[in-house]
Structure formats: C-alpha cells, structure tokens
Structure 1
Amino acid sequence: MTAIVDTGQQPPDTTTTFTHQRRGRWIDRWEPDNERFWKSGADRTAKKNLLFSVFAENLGFSIWVLWASVVTGMGAAGFAFLDGLGKGNPTAVSNALLLTSIPTLVGSTLRIPYTFAIPRFGGRAFTVFSAAMLLIPTLGLIYFVNQPGTPMWVFVVLAALSGFGGGNFSSSMANISFFFPDGKKGAALGINAAGGNLGVAQTQLLVPLLITLGTHLTAKDAAGYRFGITLSVLVWIPFILAAAFGALRYMDSLSTAKSDGRSYKPALTNRHTWVMAFLYIGTFGSFIGFSFAFPTLIKANFPDLANIGWITTLGNLAFLGALVGSFSRPFGGWLSDKLGGGANITIMVFGGMAVAVALIMAALEMKSFPLYLLAFLMLFVLAGIGNGSTYRMIPSIFSAESKKYASEHGMEPPEAAASAKRQAGAAIGVIGAVGAFGGFVLQQALRLSNTHFGTMAPAFWAYAVAFLVMAGVTWWFYSRTSFAVGRVPSLAYANI
C-alpha cells in the first residue's frame, strides 16, 4: 500500500487561472473580470491581441483614406476626368469628391456586419481576412493607375473596395471589447480607436511625400506622376502582409465572444439611439468627411500653393486636420467627466463648429490660406472633442433610461445596469455606422453644391445651420432639467 503524505500544499486552482492554448486555437474559457484569472496571464494575452489589432486597424484606416491623397495627383498623371483639379475645374472637383466619398459610403455600410463577424468567425480569423482584403484595392490601383486609358468607373470600383478598410474599425473594436474587463475596456478601446484614426493623418502625410519622391526619381511628367502614385501605394503592401501574418501567427479567438442580438431591438426602437446618431453625424461624420475631402478642397481653392514646393510635398498640410482631430478626441471625454456629462460640451462644440465654418467662408472671400487652414484645424479639433463628448453621453443616456424603466416596473438596480450596458453596446454599433455615413453625405453635399452652383459655399452654410440645429437638439433632449445626462463612468466601456 502506498502511503499518502500530506505536504500541506494545496494543488493549483486551475478553475480560476488562465492557461493559454496552442497558438491558432480558440480560447474556450475567458474570464477577464476574474482578477486571479486576469493576472495569471490573461492580461498579457489581451494586450498582445490589442497590439496586433491596432496594427491591422491602423492599416485599414490608411487604405480607407488613401484616395483622398491619390486623387490630387491623378490629373497630372494623365487622367482627363481629374485634369484641372488644381485650377478649380468644377468637373474635376466633382469627380475627385465622388472618388473620395465612395470609400466613406462603403466603410460606413460595412460597420454593422463587420461587428457581427467576430462572434461568427473569431477575432483571429476575421482580422487575417480583413487585413488581407486590403490587398485587392491597393494592387488594383497599382495596376490600373499605370494604364492611362483606364475609365473613371474602374477607379470608382477600386475606391469602393478600399472602403473595406473602414469596416475594419468595427470588427476590431468588437473583438477587443471581449478581451478586457469592464474597468479596462475604455482605455483599451481608446488606444484601439486612436491607433486607427491616426492612420488617416499618416496616410495624408506620407502619400504626397512619396508621390513627390517618385516624380523626382523619374520626371515631372504624366509617367513620373504615375510612378509616384504607384510608389505611394506600393509602400503599404509589406505592412498589409505583415498585419495578416501577425494576426494569423499571434492573435487568438474567444469562444465566449457572443453577440447580444436581443439588445438590438430595444436599442433600435429607442428614440435616443437615433437622436445620438443624428448628433454623431455632426461630429464623427464631419471628422471623416472633411478628412477625406480636405486635400481636394485645398488644391481646388488655393492652386497657387503648387508654387511652394515644400507645402505641396507635405500634401498642402492636409494631414494636420486628421492629426489634431485624432488627438483632441480623448480630451472631449475627459472634459465631459470633469464637467459632469457630455451634453453641455457637445452644445459648445456644435456652436464652435458653426463659427469655424463662418471663418472658412471668410478665408475663401479673403483668399487667405493661413486663415483657411487655421479655421479648418479649429473645425477638426472641435469635431474630435465632439466625438469624445457624444460617445461619453451614450452610456449615461441608456443608464438614465433604464433607471426610469426600473423604477416604473420594479426592476432591481443591478438588472437595470446590465440592461443599460447591453443596450448601449447595441446602440453604439448603429450610431457609429450612421455617423460614418454622415461623412459620405457631407462630401456629396460639397460635390452637388459645386456641380449645380459652381461653388461650395451653399453646402458650407448648410453645415453651419445644421451644427446650430444639432446644438439645439442636444439642449432640448439632454441639457434641460427634465433630462440631465449625468456621469456614469462604469458604463463607458466602448468606443465608436
């Protein structure tokens, strides 16, 4: 008989600790809110997935906004439908705005299905797929930009395919939200969102530099510009391959990542979902729409900048808009927390955006590029702050609604909080998609105004009026004493 010796040591509690499965496998047990589980290695796994998610999402945004810079060089590359863009040719300007708005439309449309793809296919597999999809519009552009006789509709199709990069945002955000505990979701998703948004600025900085480099390496003729555009697109290919390989090799999928389809019906029938979607058109829609249109607007309105070599090389400084808008976004959330909610901040943002539009119009009247640039930077900063403050309002609104419902129907407070959290998560997907679609509407308004009136002034003044209306809507629904949106930091677990 074998003696049993009591060593006084307890066997390891494998029910509350994290054991990483072989790479490429689904993780069947994931309990990030269990502190012991989180600290036993789950935190490192979550951060690793966040790292590769940021990399892939950043490239998605980069390819999504690629056309905003490429169109400014295609006229010189020999494509007649964009010839004269630098001289304000109305047809060329309208065609350029069409090519820059199509990716916005596709990207916003894909946001909702891409969110549901994570529970269906897994974060690892879908990140590989969504990154690899970026090869189609980039390789297609490299080929067709070197075929001078290519008709415009081919480039419209390629621009639409680049919209897949905009859909990557939603799948990436949905995937990362499952990895982190509630107390850390906000920071993780903020990092993920910022990494993606910065892709807009980096593309608008690098692409003009590479186009200029390409023309200097060859000649400043149509062939030289085609080579420059080819170089500016080709540079992304190795990074796309690296993102797909990195996701395949190092990312994980969670079996516990399940979509809460039941929460979508109450979220979709809640009027506040659609009120906030309307407001988000004014903030995120403005950020995306003007980010895509800004290079074209500068080139069309200030053609003399082409005589200043270093400004042209830096894309007429268009990258500064997306840059300041990306960095100001967290400030909106911080201000909202400090001042007791996002509604009052959002009202001030919309008022400031209307003033910024008036300054843009004054700059065009005075033909002052410095004032034009400063006014647009003001608009981008405010849009970024508004992105943060409107996002900050969403969980607070649904919390207030759920508390009201709970008091009327005898629901327990914990149950009400859980319901608010689920509905806010469902609403965020809808609000984000509608907000991004606003970027398409904004650019189409510019294009149609330019086509029918020969000037974009009517569209800009319409934006100013819309911003004031949005300020009024925010006050009416969320700043009056009948419905004051308070602070609910514990529910601010997602980002748009």
Structure 2
Amino acid sequence: MSSATDERRTGGEWLADWDPEDAQHWDKALAWRTLSITTVGLMLAFCTWFLASALAPVLGNLGFTITKDQLYWLTAMPGLAGGTLRLIWMWLPPIMGTRKLVSLTTLLLVIPLIGWAVAVQNPSTSYSTFMILAFLSGIGGGAFSGFMPSTSYFFPRRLQGTALGLQAGLGNFGVSVVQFVTPWIVGFSLLGVLGAAQTFHNPATNVNKDVWYQNAAYIYVPFVVIVAILAWTMLKSVPVRANFRQQLDIFKNVDTWWMTALYVMTFGTFAGLSAQFGLLIKNLYGAGNPDIVATAADGSTTVLVAGYAVPLALTYAFIGPLVGAGARVLFSPLTDRWGGARWTLVSGIGIAASIVYTMQYVQPDVAAGAEALTAQFHSFLFGFIAIFFFTGIGNASTFKQMPMIFERRQAGGVIGWTSAIAAYGPFLFGVGLATLSVSGFLTVLLVFVLACVALTWVRYARPGAPKPS
C-alpha cells in the first residue's frame, strides 16, 4: 500500500508492508478476523443508534406526556447526531488506526445505553433529557464512517464488494435486532438490581401490565464491553496515513458528490424509514390514528384493525429493516460479479416503483370497515417492505462502486463522507413527516429517487458511461 503510506508507523499495533493486492503482503486470516469483530461492533452500534425508534412509540403508554410531532423529532434526533458525528469519524481511520478507533468507539456506546435505561424508568424524565439521549445514541451512527473505511484497508478490490457488503449488511441488522428484541425483552425482569417495573397501558384493550423497558438498553451493555475488549486485544492497524488537508481532495472529484446523492437515495431511505416505520404503523393504522380508535360507552377503546395496534406496531416494525439488511448481504457478492452500477440502477427503479405503490395506502379508508382496513394495512406493509428491499440492493451496489471509482486512500474518505450525509436520513424523514403529510413527503422522495435513477444511467450504468463501475 505504498501509495497510501506517507509515513510509516511502528509498534505491535501497526502492520508492516501491508498490501492486500499482493498475496505475499496480505494476511487473509487477519482481514477476516477484523471484518468479524468490527461487524459485531457495528451491529451493536446500530442497535444503540436506533434504540430511540424502538422506545419512542411506547413512551406515551408508559405515562410520558409527549405529542405525536415530538415523537417524530425524537426519532429524528439520532439521525441528525449520527450524520454529524460521521463527519468527525470519517477522518479518524488514518489518524487513530483500526484498533484504537473500533475499541474506543464501541466502549462509548455504554453511555447512551445506560442513559436510556435510567430515563425510561422515571415518568418525570423531561423531553429535553430524551432529546439529549437521542443525540448521544448518534454515536452508534457515527461509528459506521470509521468502521467501514477501516475495513476497506484490509481487503483487495476484488473482494471489497463482498467484505463491505457483509459488514454493512450484518451491521444494519442491528436495526432489526433492537426493534425485534425490545417487545420481547421488556416482558420480564432480567435482574432485580436493574430497576423496578413500569406500568404499560394498552389503549386497544384498556389493560395495564408490568414491563421493564430498561432491559431494552441494558441487554446490550455486556456485549458492548466484550467487543471492545476483543477489538483492543485482537485487532491491528494498517499504516495508512493522510492528514486532514490530504483527505480534503475527495471534494474536488465530482463523483464524490454524485455518489453521495446515490447513497442518500439508498441508505438515507433505509435509515430514515427504519427510524420512522414503527411510528408510521402506529399513526396511520394503529392507536395513533383517532379515526381508527373506537371508544365505547364504558370508556374502553378498540382498534378497528384488529391485532395491529400498539404495542404490536413494534412487532411489525422490525420486518422492513430486516429485509433491507438481508438484501444488502445477499446482493453484495452479485455486485462483485456483475458490477455495482447496474444494481444501483435496479435499486433506484425498484424504490421508485415501490413508493408509487405504497402511496395508495398511506391514507386509510376507515369507512370501508375493519376487514377492508386490514387488507389496506397488508398492502401498506408490503409496499414499505419492498422499499426496504430495494434500498438494501442499492446499499450493497454503491459500496461496490466507490472502491472502483476512487483510489484506495480516497475511497475510504468517500465511503466515510457519503455515509455521513446519508446518516441524516432519519433526521430528514422525521422533519419531513412532522411538517408534511405522509403522501406529500413520499412525493418529494419519489422525485429525488427518479433524479438519482437518471444520474446512475448517464454517469455509471449506460454503455460508454464516463465512470463504469
């Protein structure tokens, strides 16, 4: 890696004569060990980043007084923080090295996790406190822009689509993990010392039950500590070195900006929908929609779409992110085989078509009755899952394109930069849904996606394209 090694660093942490393109100077076992540890760390980071999206829809049921718009802002804040922190983390791989970066970043996740665990136990916790915790959760989002470039240093270009796709895809599973595990883990006390139970009120049945929502955060703490220790003791660092000014040259390349747009289309949409999906289910087809909730004479409430009210909104919220993350993993080897650009084109067309389909079901026809409303919900769910699926394909393909378009030192910086901007997806989706109707926001998203489809075809995918990738 002579072109990227401006200054040699020595010591037990730093590798010497490391060049993944030369089999004699590449340790395959170390590369895959690095991928394994950093991927588990990234999954825990995503669990932390999206913890607010799993907790926000139920805060009202726990006795907290928070409005619908405040909930959208609460789930948007980790996106604002994650994107901003990625703008910092993207510069750190060549400065700190993989070992220190992964170890210390993983350990930082303990702060928001313990903070959330304490906050949800006290109904008097202020909204501003929750917003601060949501911002700190963004540390998990910032990690991506440090972990992914670090991993790219360890693999030859022919394997980077697979390696980066596996890391990002399996890391993205953290979104599904936190949304799937939360409804289950809060149902019983893990250890008495972790705090007392809270009272959960279900408006659909007018029944109260004991829950332990601190478990949703505490459950990850021991795993975070273990991964931090493994990273510190088992990882090495590639002696890639670039100072701040040297890294700025990525912004002189127009493809940095085009690939940023494409990754916003794919990962920005994935992350934005992941953060808001539970709230969308609740507010459109669940107890958050007053037109769907019926109040009886005795004051009890029922939801016309049987079985789909809160808290079951969270039960279905994990499916979309799971499908998107799975698509990223499955399609990553295909991008190595057939190139990334054509799959990015497929991704964009698929997202656009899925948005058009889904827009038909974001205004439930309550007058149609419970049976028809349930059918509408199934179509609504299918449409959003399709969007998630096609974003997963694009998340894999864009990460194949970037190492092919840019030289190795630049590729790491571009991956970090595009990841940082796309991480604002949850924030943009939260603000958009708080200020526009759901159909209005999806219309804006559709126009952007169609523009990205045209860009992909003209710049990267058509025969004779300037930058085939």
Please state which band the TM-score falls in when normalised by the shorter chain.
Answer: 0.7 to 0.9
SS of 1:483 mapped into structure 2 = coil
Partners of 1:356 and 1:207 in 2: CA distance: 28
| Partner in structure 2 of residue 98 of structure 1 | 73
**222, 225, 234: which one pairs with 1:238?**
222
1:472 aligns with 2:454: yes
Task: Report the AA paired with residue 245 of structure 1.
Answer: I
Alignment correspondent of 1:144: 119
Deviations 1:457-476 (A, max 9, x none): 21122212222222233334
Q: Give the Cα–Cα distance (whole angstroms) in 2 for the partners of residues 261 and 135 of structure 1.
A: 29
Q: Which amino acid aligns with 1:175?
A: S
SS in 1 for 2:62: coil
Residue equivalent to 2:29? 44
Matched, 1:158 2:142: no
Match of 2:256 in 1: 273
Alignment of 1:378-389 (within 5 A): 378-389=386-397
User: Do the aligned partners of 2:187 and 2:210 also contact (CA within 8 Å) in 1?
Assistant: no
Equivalent residue, structure 1, for 2:54 = 69
Residue by residue over 1:56-109, the C-alpha shift from the partner in whole angstroms, topping out at 9 and shown as x without a partner, is 11110110011111111111111111xxxxxxxxxx321111111111111122
Checking the alignment, whether the CA contact within 8 Å between 1:260 and 1:422 is kept in structure 2 is no
State which of 388, 391, 395 in structure 1 corresponds to 2:399: 391
Gaps of 5+ in 1: 1-23, 82-91, 399-419, 450-454, 488-496
Map Cα deviations across residues 307-357 of structure 1 (whole Å, 9 max, x no partner). 528994582311111111112124555555666x54444344323322222
The CA deviation string for residues 361-413 of structure 1, in whole angstroms up to 9 with x for no partner, is 21234441110110001100111112223333334545xxxxxxxxxxxxxxx
Deviates more, 1:354-363 or 1:311-320: 311-320
Q: Distance in 1 between matches of 2:448 and 2:75?
A: 22
Residue by residue over 1:211-269, the C-alpha shift from the partner in whole angstroms, topping out at 9 and shown as x without a partner, is 34469x96754698784211221111111121222223333334x13237565444202
Distance 1:311 1:152 in 2: 21
Q: Which moved more, 1:191-200 or 1:58-67?
A: 191-200
AA of the residue aligned to 1:316: T
**SS across alignment from 2:143:** helix
1:329 alignment partner AA: R
Q: Is the 1:349–1:385 Cα contact (8 Å) retained in structure 2?
A: yes
Distance 2:308 2:346 in 1: 38
Distance 1:292 1:30, change over 3 A: farther
**Distance change (3 Å), C-alpha of 1:396 and 1:133:** closer
Gap regions ≥5 residues in structure 2: 1-10, 191-195, 203-207, 287-302, 366-372
Instruction: State the distance in 1 between where 2:354 and 2:459 align.
Output: 24
Is the counterpart of residue 463 in structure 1 residue 462 in structure 2?
no
**Other-structure match for 2:290:** none
Equivalent AA in structure 2 for residue 247 of structure 1: A
**Distance (whole Å) between structure 2 residues aligned to residue 47 and residue 477 of structure 1:** 33
Corresponding position of 1:201: 176
The match for 2:295 is none
Which residue matches 1:31?
A: 18
**Counterpart AA for 2:429:** L
Match of 2:292 in 1: none
Distance 1:136 1:288, change over 3 A: same
Q: Distance in 2 between matches of 1:300 and 1:128?
A: 39
What's 2:6 paired with? none
- Determine helix, strand or coil for the equivalent of 2:268: helix
User: Is 1:354 paired with 2:357?
Assistant: no
User: Which position in structure 2 is the counterpart of 1:127?
Assistant: 102
Q: Shift of residue 200 of structure 1? A: 0.9
Q: CA deviation at 1:188?
A: 2.9
Take 1:156 and 1:397, find their aligned partners in 2: how far apart are those partners?
Answer: 39
Cα distance in 2, alignment partners of residues 394 and 219 from structure 1:
47
Give the letter for the 1:231 counterpart.
N
TM-score, length-scaled by structure 1:
0.77
- Structure 2: distance between partners of 1:391 and 1:178: 14
Aligned length: 423
Preserved CA contact (<8 Å) 2:155 2:163: yes
Of 285, 289, 304 in structure 2, the residue corresponding to residue 302 of structure 1 is 285
Letter in 1 for 2:447: V
Report the equivalent of 1:250: 234
For the pair 1:446 / 2:436, whether they are aligned, the reply is no
C-alpha RMSD of matched pairs (Å): 3.1
**Which shows bigger deviation, 195-204 or 47-56?**
47-56
Distance 2:174 2:304 in 1: 25
Distance 1:80 1:307, change over 3 A: farther
TM-score scaled to structure 2, two decimals? 0.81
Which of 268, 278, 291 aligns to 2:274? It is 291
8 Å CA contact retained: 2:198, 2:210:
no
Secondary structure (helix, strand or coil) at the match of 1:149 reads coil
Distance 1:280 1:46 in 2: 25
Residues 12-27 of structure 1 mapped to structure 2, 5 A cutoff: 25-27=12-14
Give the distance between the partners of 1:421 and 1:172, measured in 2 at CA. Answer: 15
Which of the residues 42, 52, 64 maps onto 1:57?
42
User: One-letter code of the match for 2:56?
Assistant: V
Percent identity of the aligned residues?
A: 30
